[in-house]
Amino acid sequence: MDHLAPGESVNLIAWLSLRLAPGIGSVRFTRLVEALGSPEAVLAAPWQQLASIKGIPQPLAQSIAGGELSAKPEAELQRLQDMGARVVTLLHSEYPPLLKSVFAPPPLLFVRGDLLPCHQGAVAMVGSRSYSPYGRRVAEEVARDLAQAGKSVVSGLARGIDTSAHQAALKAGGHTVGVLGCGLDVAYPPENRELIEEMAQKGAVLSEFLLGTPPAAGNFPVRNRVISGLAQAVVVVEAGRKSGSLITARHALDQGREVFAVPGPVGSPQSEGCHDLIRQGARLLSSAVDLLEPGALLSASAMAAAVGGAALAGPDAMDLPPDWRKVLEITSADPVHVDLIMRESGLKPQEVTAILVSLEMEGLVEQRPGKYYVRL
């Protein structure tokens, strides 16, 4: 493996084995490793010791101790190598420093291509899948100018604005990173298969999801936190009021990133979400100059230093982003219906849904039949 930090020796089989244990998300992974020191120690521990760790229920502890895995780690590594991909762990020097600084960073990234250029500075660009000609033009111009200025352009490889931003960055000879909401071996959307291959050669494509993971709806709010986590700032080019791009913007705010929104024509449904963001304090973006002028953004190294760099720690509720904590505090050991959570939190339904998906993936809540949730 290249780019190893001094003294770094990572047992990829152990890291991948723990990730392949059913029920293990980012929070549970980091809690277990923080408590016992390494994935190897976690896998060797008796279930009683694992069950004593906060947030690890007895059935999960028994499953881990019993070696129950969703796939064989050696076979997974071979599959990754066969497709020209690799595993980058949280302790690897290639792991993006800005992403490492966010709440519950993915402990493993599955990567094709080169991540190192985004360490020097990246801007995320997101927007509507059903964009207007105006939105496409703005996305292409901003991505082109960012790429020519040496910024890595990060997006989610979705139809619409995401695809336009990736393509414009590549056409300008720049670097771009695509974050998938599915396994690295799943081309989604299918029409972007060739774009994904080109990005793997000239930029990077990554996923925190295991090989073979389908593009399920619940994966995308989780994916969005990685898009914003990789970047110094997030630009929302076009977004309706129910757009998933607004979830990315909210993650960005929770992560201490700058949020920029492109204003659109008055009355345009594709720009209603952007106009709402501007009213709520997002910075208005008229061109890439607004991002590139001196002092517009903190450097990537300064941002990483400000948040303390690497973390392999199991967070308490107080470490959660504010809206996550608000939702979590409404849940309890007794089932609480999602309608009550929406009403009590005061958040928009799509925001509550995205947060609950994230909390469930991280092992902090569990969904019960009838759209009830309990806190774990």
What average pLDDT does the segment 48-57 reach?
Answer: 90
Residue that the structure tokens 């492109």 belong to: 262
Share above pLDDT 90 across residues of the chain, in percent, rounded to a whole number: 62
Domain boundaries, the chain: 98-306, 317-375
**How many alpha carbons lie under 13 Å from residue 87 in its C-beta half-sphere?**
25
Using the predicted structure, report yes or no on whether residue 72 has a pLDDT greater than 80.
yes
Residues in the chain: 376
DSSP 292-334: HSTTSS--HHHHHHHTTS-------GGGS-HHHHHHHHH--SS
Q: Whose CA is closest to 252, among 230, 234, 275, 273?
A: 234
Topology (CATH) of 317-375: Arc Repressor Mutant, subunit A (1.10.10)
Mean pLDDT value across the chain: 88
Topology (CATH) of 98-306: Rossmann fold (3.40.50)
Q: Cα separation of 230 and 279, whole Å?
A: 25
Using the predicted structure, report yes or no on whether residue 214 has a pLDDT greater than 90.
yes
Q: Cα separation of 204 and 170, whole Å?
A: 11
- Which pLDDT does position 317 carry in this prediction? 52
Reported as a pLDDT band with limits 50, 70 and 90, residue 81 is: very high
Q: Cα separation of 102 and 310, whole Å?
A: 9
